[in-house]
Amino acid sequence: MEINKELMQASIIGLHDAMGLKPEETLLIVTDEVKREIGLALHEAGKQLCKESILLEIKSREINGQEPPECVAEMMKMVDVVVCPTAKSLTHTDARRNAVKHGVRVGTMPGISVEIMSRCLNADFDKIIELTKFVAKKLEGVKIVKIFTALGTDLTMNIEGRMIIESTGVLREKGQSGNMPSGEVYLAPVEGTTNGILVIDGSVAGIGLVKQPIKINIVNGYAKEITGGEEAAKLQEMLDKSGIEARAVAEFGIGTNYKAILSGQILEDEKVFGTIHIAFGNNLTMGGTISVNSHIDGLVKFPDVYFDDKLIMQKGKLLDFEI
């Protein structure tokens, strides 16, 4: 298969600059039949950059967070770097968590496309790091987050004592893990404390761009009534596949990648500067307690965000920070 030059260049940047792949290291690419082209490009780039590059193709998972085959999970623990360009996310899996425990650097790329790679991996990484650290600093010591939008989002959550995660997409140290490309700050709200209305008007993981806003009534940390159009019905069906814990509020995140745009792929969408996202399902990776075989993000545009009653973001504009 002839590899697109633009894709090859983005693959080299991703492996060398973002993952810090070294000549003496071993690389494992875990891909599927949907993202085969990108997996092959990363594999070929890896052969130029490191001692050994291994390409594994698995059958595409049904939902985000579903485990890869056990033999693949074992191989993920036996190399220096793992990169996962797949249709469905392997981020919130035991396979990824266990690889990290063995000191492996893992970059996950759920739903990645050639366009997203070319756009986001050509960003100024230092600028993304600066913006990400700025938002993370604002979250330090905060107890309550409140989110409002003109479409009806009115949400309150307790985040007291929760680990604040800076996801810059730069994963050069042993045992680091995250999305590639990235650019977000996220955490797991205290389970059972999120209440109010969430209106998703951007996109949903596994569904894509939202044509008709999805309204979700959240009571004591769980999504109850879900209303809207076709996308709302799909979301409800996805959540029902994994049981009640799939409806638990798992994550609050803020996008910090100034190059990212709304594309319908949550890997990029949740990184869009000026947006927030709420996820339902597994949050073990971020220090939470919800263990379920599902993790689904929903994106909210133009939010007003308050940290302990202090306005931090107004209609999607981060205050006190200029790009």
The answer to whether 40 and 2 have CB atoms below 8 angstroms apart is: no
Q: Report the relative pairing of strands 249-255 and 184-187 from DSSP bridges.
A: antiparallel
User: Could you tell me if 40 and 184 lie in one domain?
Assistant: no
Q: Using pLDDT thresholds of 50, 70 and 90, give the confidence band for residue 321.
A: confident
Of 95, 120, 145, the domain-final residue? 120
Q: Report the relative pairing of strands 295-301 and 144-148 from DSSP bridges.
A: unpaired
The answer as to whether 249 is a domain residue is yes
pLDDT for residue 249 is more than 80: yes
- pLDDT at site 230: 95
Half-sphere exposure of 5 (CA within 13 A, CB side): 0
Per-residue pLDDT tens for 5-37? 889 999 999 999 999 999 999 999 999 999 999
User: Could you tell me if 89 and 143 lie in one domain?
Assistant: no
- CATH number of the domain at 84, please: 3.40.1830.10
Measured CA angle at 153 (ends 237, 128), to 5 deg: 90
User: Could you tell me if 209 and 75 lie in one domain?
Assistant: no
pLDDT for residue 1 is more than 80: no
Q: Hey, is 79 helix, strand or coil? A: coil
Specify burial of residue 170 (Cβ count, 10 A radius: 0-12, 13-18, 19+).
buried
User: Could you tell me if 71 and 168 lie in one domain?
Assistant: no
The answer as to whether 323 is a domain residue is no
Q: Using pLDDT thresholds of 50, 70 and 90, give the confidence band for residue 323.
A: low
Q: How far apart are CA 303 and CA 277, in angstroms?
A: 10
Q: How far apart are CA 146 and CA 2, in angstroms?
A: 49
- DSSP conformation letters of 26-44: EEEEEEESSSHHHHHHHHH
Residues spanned by the domain of 275: 125-318
Q: How far apart are CA 168 and CA 170, in angstroms?
A: 5
Return mean pLDDT, the chain.
95
The answer to whether 273 and 258 have CB atoms below 8 angstroms apart is: yes
Number of domains in the chain: 2
Which stretch of 94-108, 207-221, 308-322 has the lowest confidence by average pLDDT? 308-322
User: Could you tell me if 132 and 225 lie in one domain?
Assistant: yes
User: Could you tell me if 178 and 302 lie in one domain?
Assistant: yes
Measured CA angle at 222 (ends 240, 317), to 5 deg: 110
Per-residue pLDDT tens for 159-182? 999 999 999 989 999 999 999 999
Average pLDDT over residues 188-204: 98
User: Could you tell me if 49 and 89 lie in one domain?
Assistant: yes
Q: Using pLDDT thresholds of 50, 70 and 90, give the confidence band for residue 296.
A: very high
Q: How far apart are CA 36 and CA 42, in angstroms?
A: 10
In Å, how far are 84, 85, 109, 121, 122 from 116, measured between CA atoms?
Answer: 15, 12, 10, 8, 10
User: Could you tell me if 133 and 186 lie in one domain?
Assistant: yes
- pLDDT at site 123: 85
User: Could you tell me if 114 and 131 lie in one domain?
Assistant: no
- pLDDT at site 3: 80
The answer as to whether 139 is a domain residue is yes
- pLDDT at site 160: 98
Per-residue pLDDT tens for 256-291? 999 999 999 998 999 999 999 999 999 998 999 999
Per-residue pLDDT tens for 112-131? 999 999 889 888 889 999 99
The answer as to whether 200 is a domain residue is yes
pLDDT for residue 2 is more than 80: no
User: Could you tell me if 115 and 132 lie in one domain?
Assistant: no
Residue with token string 């950059």? 49
Of 66, 93, 120, the domain-final residue? 120
Beta strands in the chain (DSSP E): 26-32, 52-58, 81-86, 105-110, 144-148, 154-158, 165-167, 177-179, 184-187, 195-200, 203-204, 208-209, 214-219, 222-227, 249-255, 275-281, 295-301, 304-307, 310-314, 317-318
Of 86, 120, 154, the domain-final residue? 120
User: Could you tell me if 20 and 163 lie in one domain?
Assistant: no
Encoded tokens for 88: 């469905």
Q: How far apart are CA 301 and CA 298, in angstroms?
A: 10
User: Could you tell me if 276 and 185 lie in one domain?
Assistant: yes
- pLDDT at site 320: 81
Q: How far apart are CA 310 and CA 323, in angstroms?
A: 21
